[in-house]
Amino acid sequence: MDTVIQPNPPSLPLTESHPVHAALFAEIVFDRPLDHAYTYAVPETLREQIAVGKRVRAPFGRGDRSTDGFCVGVTEQMPDREVKSITEVLDEESLLDDPLLRLTRWMADYYLCGWGQVLHAVVPAGVRANAGTKSAVFVEAVPQAELPNPLPTVSPKQKQALDRLRAAGQPLEQSQLGRELGGTGAIAGLVSKGLVRKFTERVERNAATEPHAAAAEPTPQRPELVLSADQQAAWETIHAGLQTSGFHAYLLHGVTGSGKTEIYLRAIEEVIRQGKEAIVLVPEISLTPQTIERFSGPEHSVAVLHSHLTNAERGGHWRRIASGLAQIVVGARSAVFAPTRKLGLIVIDEEHENSFKQESIPRYHGRDVAVMRASLAGIPIILGSATPSLESWHNAAKKSYTLLELPTRVASRPMPTVKLVDLRHEPKTPGKHFAIGPTLEMAMRQTLKDNGQVILLLNRRGYSTHIHCPGCGHVAQCIHCDLALTFHRAKAALLCHYCGWESAPVLQCVQCGQDSVRYQGLGTEKLQVEIEGKFPDRVVQRMDSDTMSKPGSHRRVLDAFREGKIQILLGTQMIAKGLDFPNVTLVGVINADVGLHMPDFRAAERTFQLLAQVAGRAGRGDRNGLVMVQTFTPDHPCIALAAQHDYHSFARLELALRKEHAYPPYQRMARVIVRSENQAAAEAFAETLAGSFQQAVVHSTRRFPAAAPVRVLGPAECPVFKLKGYYRFHFQLQSDNSGLLHTVLREVLLVSKPPHGVEFQVDVDPYSML
């Protein structure tokens, strides 16, 4: 079972042990797809340790398997049945406070998964395992009022140790004091005489959470910038909201280079001045070092939270935040759960980014969870983007968010000129096909001649993106997925980008045996070879997930590019967002059509956003920028309007289409996927679910006669039918009433038990439709 909430089976009683008579009971949730908590008795020995937000260990299930769970409630009310007892409290301090517990409870309800599953995902593994800490023995002098009478005599070495402890005025680590004294024998003697007592406490293994502590060190006071008229108007609105209590959502729509970061910084500084903390969410891990530098200051410290940290580093940052030692938390989507003590502001940079959506349990969207956290806490939230998501734009149109606009770049710099290169009419080079046409190549040579730098975007990694036989038409595919394999020359392997399966390259067709296999299609690896061949005297660097896998690789490449040591930077979408290099005067998009024709209603929106974002990397300095976009569909609205930097017109056209077809943001959507390694079993259960959904729709119509019925599409084969060895069928459910949609889903999912070998999962507000 994947994400579906299951009720407690009647055949599984909660009590199988002997009666326990206790005055205190705990409500425990486990990392299971269950929609309720279990009641356990708290033994007297654990009464002082138990608390809401702590993890416990308790027997669970028929076999009383020892299982870890979270305590979400404590009560003295006696249950009306016999209960089991918890066996251990795992944490010294609560890992989650009441606001985070309320947020995670909402997530479990909205995203239709178990509360325990959410809590397990929210608290990092490094925190759960106490990574980066050690158990240390401390010693302290016994207070005067508790000294033995008469006082025992002490040796000179013992007197030295006792004097040192009293002078310290606080406990000292026994090993440290032992090093000062040349041994711990004197300490042991003082303990036995009742003059010193010792205790054990968990402490940080290292004082700093390296290697990221260096990046988070305070920097000199940043210069006060003069705001433009648009910036000033936006700042005054936000500043007024920061002076009052209550939830405020601001959508800061600013073109690339318009100075959105300066607004963020001023808002954060105001919050810190009020003695509060701020969370800043960024979409790409590669942006984190740059973002930390932007937000570090002489009077506050920054903590980082993202998946590329080691468990020890992440645990250390989490504990710093929980202790109130960090005023600013910066990170990817999971940073929205930072255990701040007094949260005053949340900022989401590039709020439109798809990477804020998690594709595993719980399948939450970081932006939406951040808005809910701000709402529950009664604090402001700023959502910034040059290309806002249509959901946020729609919320601003409804006045749910306050729209603030920065329509021009700072210092009156012009937006870059965008030229569409129609590949249908581009002069063909005799012989070998090249990724960059003559027009783009000429622009690159002129830019480099003028000592400018070039960024090239191609959102496909690898060398050849498909391998086929012209004789019989066979295409090399993954054995586990209905997807073509990609040839990676550096690894000398054919790889599946979804499941990771790989095989050796082939020269002979496995289908017909002909020696005519062709390696075609274009990825960043092949593009790099072409560029290095055309510009042998220039330094070329590639940025994609293949080259940026080592820690610190993003920083090293971007620093070298900033210093001018790299003249041409090419890569996937990780180079398209958030980078600010004043000497970049040319941006080239190798193929703007990549992703445009995917079976996904958000394909045009994603294409527009990517083109607009990468175009914004050009002309951010004193020299004008040029963007060359190679495309076979220059007349498509998302490409044509991106070339004109016209977000308003694109949003108007795309929203009209969404409304016509009843897609988000006008209706809520959920996707249910049934999968199995047995195609027939998956299809049969999908048909069973279809009947259940139709029945539930009829029931809901009777209960909510004034509401439009939930629309159920499917079952149908997923666009990628076989993935990671599983055959997949999906449903699409839509409604303009979120409560009604959830009612239908719960009615079906709570009672639907798939047969052995069949799984199904629910994705509320899905972003992946493949």
Using pLDDT thresholds of 50, 70 and 90, give the confidence band for residue 447: very high
* pLDDT of 434: 86
Q: Fill in the DSSP letter of residue 150.
A: S
Tens digits of per-residue pLDDT, 103-160? 999 999 999 999 999 999 999 988 888 877 778 889 999 998 888 988 898 899 999 9
Q: Is the pLDDT of residue 172 over 60?
A: yes
Q: Which of the two residues, 49 and 285, has the higher pLDDT score? A: 49
Q: Fill in the DSSP letter of residue 269.
A: H
* Average pLDDT estimate for 428-448: 88
Using pLDDT thresholds of 50, 70 and 90, give the confidence band for residue 285: low
* pLDDT of 312: 86
Q: Is the pLDDT of residue 498 over 90?
A: no
* pLDDT of 223: 66
* Average pLDDT estimate for 231-244: 96
* pLDDT of 770: 84
**Residues in Cβ contact with 76 at an 8 Å cutoff, skipping those fewer than 6 apart:** 23, 24, 25
* Average pLDDT estimate for 587-604: 91
For residue 277, the one-letter residue type is E
Among 192-206, 658-672, 723-737, the minimum mean pLDDT is found in 192-206
Q: Is the pLDDT of residue 707 over 80?
A: no
**Residues in Cβ contact with 162 at an 8 Å cutoff, skipping those fewer than 6 apart:** 141, 154, 190, 195, 196
Tens digits of per-residue pLDDT, 8-46? 433 333 334 444 445 899 999 999 998 889 999 999 999
Helix (H) or strand (E) holding 119: helix 115-122
Whether 317 contacts 279, CB under 8 Å: no
Residue 459's Cα: distance from chain center in Å?
20
Compute the distance between CA of residue 179 and CA of residue 172 in angstroms, rounded to an integer. Answer: 12
Compute the distance between CA of residue 608 and CA of residue 611 in angstroms, rounded to an integer. Answer: 5
Mean pLDDT (the chain, rounded): 89
**Which parts of 386-475 fold into alpha helices (H)?**
390-397, 438-449
* pLDDT of 287: 60
* pLDDT of 665: 96
Among 325-339, 352-366, 537-551, the minimum mean pLDDT is found in 537-551
Q: Is the pLDDT of residue 732 over 90?
A: yes
Whether 407 contacts 233, CB under 8 Å: no
Q: Is the pLDDT of residue 411 over 60?
A: yes
* pLDDT of 693: 92
* Average pLDDT estimate for 565-584: 87
* pLDDT of 276: 96
* pLDDT of 427: 84
Q: Is the pLDDT of residue 438 over 50?
A: yes
For residue 645, the one-letter residue type is H
Using pLDDT thresholds of 50, 70 and 90, give the confidence band for residue 288: low
Tens digits of per-residue pLDDT, 343-352? 999 999 999 9
Q: Is the pLDDT of residue 209 over 50?
A: no
Burial class (CB in 10 A: 0-12, 13-18, 19+), 246: exposed
Q: Which of the two residues, 440 and 509, has the higher pLDDT score? A: 440
Using pLDDT thresholds of 50, 70 and 90, give the confidence band for residue 216: very low
Given 3-state DSSP classes, what are the helix, strand and coil percentages for the chain, each rounded to the nearest 5?
30, 25, 45
Among 209-218, 618-627, 659-668, 701-710, the minimum mean pLDDT is found in 209-218
Q: Is the pLDDT of residue 733 over 90?
A: yes
